[in-house]
Amino acid sequence: MDRKKWLSLGLGFVVTILCVGWLVYEVEWQKLQTQLTRIDWRWCVLAVGLYLLGHVFRGIRCAWILRPHKQISWFEATQVVWIGYATNNVLPARLGELVRSYVLARRERISTGISISTLLVERILDGLSIVGILVIAAFWAPTDPWIRRIGWFAGLLFVGAMSVMLLARLSRRFFERLLSWSASRLPASVGERAEGFGHRLLDGTACLQGDRYMVGVLFLSVLIWVVEGAMFLVLLPAFGLPFSPMTAYLAMSITNLGVLLPSTPGHVGTFHFCCTKALLLAGAITPAGQSIGVGYALVLHALQYVPVTLIGFWSLYHYGFNLKTLWHVGDAPPSVSEATTTA
């Protein structure tokens, strides 16, 4: 393992230890144990179904984003999405993202640069969708000043990022010149990587062509997170919490933005901390009732982690790959020339 992986893993463990330490200090474990024995598991089955449905939508979106470069089936794309999530759940430093790009490139015989650009565009669209949902949920929430501040900040971020993305699609030559100029002002090694990253983003925006597939990609990006928010929603009654869309979508947004923090594989600790605090901010639980929130977060995380990890590893080995051969995928990032080469 190289120094970057060790550093990322070490930082992730520090953040996880802090979050888990908070859980140990704040939670009344007897109450938590009692709460877990009273769960209505019928809601959990529905929650898992919604989560897997969201991944099918991710697969369809992936196939549509790739259409300008290579046509693949939605089922093949969904399996690649599962592989990315499964390997992210067990590998440090978000190596699952690189594993997914590597598998997609090898499986579909496209360039690694195109595969990475597809992933980057998906993550940008995911971020925009989460932020947009957060803005709506924040202004329906109780008048907690922190929620309002998050809403305003998220709204500005949403408008700015979407504007830049659309401008990059409409004025590619201008952005390419801007990338070259910016890269020339940086040290050679840094500038080359930055320019390659920018070109991958520009390649990925080829799906935004103003046709029905662009509309479909944008619609699916929102639908994916609406469905995931529905998973948060249907799990609330399993813990005796109010069936509140505002609470569910606020918790979904804050939790998914929170797990961007460094952590151990699978977002252990950070997921549970952010989810519990989001329920507290939304007024679904009280400070004295945080054990309910932790129980909710534990079960929710398990329902997301276990099924996708099992399915993802089945897909990985079905495609003829294994973790041992994929461990060093991130050690040699693609060059600028490779990143900008189309299939």
| pLDDT above 90: percentage of residues in the chain | 36
Within-domain flag for 3:
no
Within-domain flag for 165:
yes
What pLDDT, in 10s, does the model give residues 27-49?
A: 888 888 888 888 989 999 999 99
Q: Mean pLDDT for the chain?
A: 84
Q: What is the mean pLDDT of residues 57-75?
A: 92
- Cα–Cα distances in angstroms (integers) from residue 127 to residues 17, 161, 260, in the given order: 26, 9, 10
Angle at the Cα of 144 (from 125 to 284), degrees rounded to 5? 80
**What is the distance between the alpha carbons of residues 141 and 139, in angstroms, rounded to a whole number?**
5
**What long-range pairs does 56-60 form, CB within 8 A, spacing at least 24?**
57/220, 57/223, 57/224, 57/227, 58/122, 58/220, 58/224, 60/220
CB 276 within 8 A of CB 25: no
Q: What is the mean pLDDT of residues 53-75?
A: 93
Q: Collect all residues with Cβ–Cβ distance below 8 Å to 278 and sequence separation of at least 6.
A: 250, 251, 253, 254, 255
* CA 187 centroid distance within chain: 31
Amino acid code (one letter) for 250: L
Within-domain flag for 244:
yes
Question: Where residue 331 falls among pLDDT bands split at 50, 70, 90?
Answer: low
Within-domain flag for 185:
yes
Within-domain flag for 5:
no
What pLDDT, in 10s, does the model give residues 143-164?
A: 567 776 776 777 777 777 777 7
**What is the distance between the alpha carbons of residues 263 and 84, in angstroms, rounded to a whole number?**
17
| Comparison of pLDDT for 59 and 214, the residue scoring more | 59
Within-domain flag for 9:
no
For the cut 50, the answer to whether the pLDDT of residue 338 exceeds it is: no
For the cut 80, the answer to whether the pLDDT of residue 329 exceeds it is: no
The model carries a pTM of 0.85
For the cut 50, the answer to whether the pLDDT of residue 332 exceeds it is: no
Which tokens is 167 given?
A: 């401008």
Q: What is the pLDDT of residue 183?
A: 83
Which tokens is 2 given?
A: 């190289």
What pLDDT, in 10s, does the model give residues 89-129?
A: 988 778 888 899 899 999 998 887 788 888 888 888 898 89
For the cut 90, the answer to whether the pLDDT of residue 221 exceeds it is: yes
CB 256 within 8 A of CB 82: no
Question: Where residue 296 falls among pLDDT bands split at 50, 70, 90?
Answer: very high
Q: Collect all residues with Cβ–Cβ distance below 8 Å to 190 and sequence separation of at least 6.
A: none
For the cut 90, the answer to whether the pLDDT of residue 186 exceeds it is: no
| Comparison of pLDDT for 127 and 245, the residue scoring more | 245
Q: What is the pLDDT of residue 320?
A: 85
Within-domain flag for 8:
no
For the cut 60, the answer to whether the pLDDT of residue 310 exceeds it is: yes
| pLDDT above 70: percentage of residues in the chain | 87
Which tokens is 204 given?
A: 């990925």
Q: Residue 306's domain spans which residues?
A: 14-339
Closest by Cα among 56, 51, 65 to 216: 65
Closest by Cα among 130, 124, 127 to 204: 124
Domain count, the chain: 1
Within-domain flag for 277:
yes
Question: Where residue 330 falls among pLDDT bands split at 50, 70, 90?
Answer: low
